[in-house]
């Protein structure tokens, strides 16, 4: 037997209480569909415990957008996850507001494709584009750590404002202070901005996860590869995606600027892909921020190309917006050599063979089909068809 607990019961709990009471019980396969089980559980929680803000944490193993081995485990694909959150948004929240925070406590889940799919239904998406720590987020002291990390974030923004003021940059100083004022009033934004600092503290040498990683045989190098970023879905959808489309159009125009060297230029771009920062997954994902940084230098590689300069400008504009899309990020020192690194991945194959192998998985994503420019074809789909076309 079990007893359904009321909200007042949880108000009496402290962070150090060991036991969580049983509030409901259902057999593991009470619904055959894994998607239906997920929607049913979240919907039940929202109706049973209504709140001003909602945060969904998805814990487990992650493979990003594409799950290759579907036979071994029960999983939610990226499209199924997005459709589940859409259903919750429409049926439970009645489309009146998005889910405030979606956190993926799983590997390889912070990428442009998934974040774009979720951007209509969630305000902020947080997670790692790399291998997640096997300990996950520090749940036992989660809210205590959020508060303490938020305090450190405030101190950092104030120090930034002082430094900008000393350097004669009053506008940037004001922006840092304005951001702090906004975060103090916007709890979901505060959570999204604070989470990377929480993770950073836990993975430090004095943090719990950092101490465990030191003595772990299973994941000793974990924090050396770790990343964690929060994405603002609205800014991603309304600002960055259109700018990335313009970048794709500029890249295609660069390829056709000299038609006789079209395939040569395509090969040059393909050969440059392996040098980009790649995440440790069997997907062909590269880090978006550092990729934009490389494209800004295209004019130096092709000094006589006017279109290369157009690409560089488009990359620069997208890079500036990416700073707003990813308001807070943590990554280890190994990534500091990559300028503008923001710890968010995107699908970028390095050869026609890789492109063909993964196309079926990505060709229906919202990002790949985004067409805010109202062109005949979506910009990225059009670019990849040309970029990975094999020379006759």
Q: Are 257 and 287 in contact (CB under 8 A)?
A: no
Range 353-373 average pLDDT: 92
Place of tokens 């004001």: 174
- The residues near 310 (Cβ < 8 Å, ≥ 6 apart) are 250, 253, 254
Which of 322, 334, 215 is closest to 280 using CA atoms?
A: 334
Tokens at residue 16, please? 């150090």
In whole angstroms, what is the distance from residue 100 CA to residue 97 CA? 8
C-beta separation of 64 from 109 below 8 A: yes
Confidence band, pLDDT 50/70/90 cuts, at residue 214? low
- 36 Cβ neighbours under 8 A, 6+ residues apart: none
Residue 263 has pLDDT above 70, yes or no: yes
Cα gap 164→172, rounded to integer Å: 6
Cα–Cα distance, 251 to 254 (Å, whole number): 5
pLDDT digits (tens, 9 = 90+) for 103-124: 999 888 899 999 999 999 999 9
User: What is the reported pLDDT for 220?
Assistant: 47
Average model confidence (pLDDT) for the chain?
85
375 vs 217, higher pLDDT: 375
**Residue range 265-324, pLDDT digits in tens:** 999 999 988 878 776 655 678 899 999 999 999 999 999 999 999 999 999 999 999 999
pLDDT of residue 1: 46
Q: Write down how long the chain is.
A: 392
- Does the pLDDT of residue 17 top 80, yes or no? no
- Residue 149 tokens, joined: 């990390």
CB 154 within 8 A of CB 250: no
Going along the chain, which residue ranges are E strands?
A: 55-59, 99-105, 122-127, 227-232, 285-287, 328-331, 345-347
pLDDT at 26: 73
Contact 304, 243 (CB under 8 A): no
pLDDT of residue 132: 75
pLDDT at 70 over 60: no
Mean predicted confidence (pLDDT) in 134-145: 74
Q: If you average pLDDT over residues 158-179, what whole number do you get?
A: 86
pLDDT of residue 175: 82
């Amino acid at each position: 037997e079990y007893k359904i607990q009321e909200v007042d019961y949880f108000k009496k709990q402290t962070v150090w209480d060991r036991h969580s009471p049983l509030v409901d019980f259902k057999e593991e396969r009470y619904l055959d569909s894994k998607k239906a089980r997920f929607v049913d559980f979240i919907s039940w929680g929202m109706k049973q415990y209504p709140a001003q803000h909602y945060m969904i944490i998805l814990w487990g193993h992650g493979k990003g957008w594409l799950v290759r081995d579907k036979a071994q485990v029960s999983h939610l694909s990226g499209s199924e996850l997005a459709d589940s959150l859409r259903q919750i948004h429409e049926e439970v929240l009645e489309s009146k507001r998005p889910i405030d925070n979606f956190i993926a406590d799983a590997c390889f889940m912070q990428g442009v494709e998934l974040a774009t799919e979720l951007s209509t239904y969630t305000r902020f998406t947080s997670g790692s584009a790399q291998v997640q720590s096997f300990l996950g987020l520090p749940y036992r002291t989660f809210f205590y750590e959020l508060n303490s990390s938020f305090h450190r974030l405030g101190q950092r923004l104030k120090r930034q404002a002082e430094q900008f003021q000393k350097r004669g940059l009053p506008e940037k100083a004001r922006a840092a202070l304005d951001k702090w004022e906004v975060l103090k009033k916007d709890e979901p934004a505060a959570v999204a901005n604070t989470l990377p600092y929480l993770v950073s503290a836990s993975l430090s040498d004095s943090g719990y996860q950092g101490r465990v990683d030191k003595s772990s045989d299973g994941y000793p190098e974990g924090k050396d590869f770790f990343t964690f970023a929060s994405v603002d879905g609205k800014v991603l959808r309304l600002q960055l995606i259109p700018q990335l489309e313009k970048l794709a159009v500029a890249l295609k125009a660069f390829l056709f600027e000299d038609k006789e060297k079209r395939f040569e230029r395509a090969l040059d771009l393909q050969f440059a892909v392996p040098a980009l920062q790649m995440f440790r997954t069997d997907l062909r994902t590269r880090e978006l921020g550092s990729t934009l940084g490389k494209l800004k230098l295209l004019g130096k590689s092709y000094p006589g190309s006017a279109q290369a300069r157009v690409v560089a400008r488009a990359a620069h504009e997208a890079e500036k917006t990416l700073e707003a899309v990813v308001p807070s990020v943590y990554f280890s020192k190994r990534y500091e050599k990559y300028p503008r690194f923001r710890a968010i991945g995107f699908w970028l194959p390095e050869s026609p063979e890789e492109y063909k192998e993964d196309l079926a998985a990505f060709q229906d994503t919202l990002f790949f089909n985004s067409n805010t420019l109202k062109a005949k074809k979506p910009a990225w789909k059009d670019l990849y068809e040309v970029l990975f076309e094999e020379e006759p």
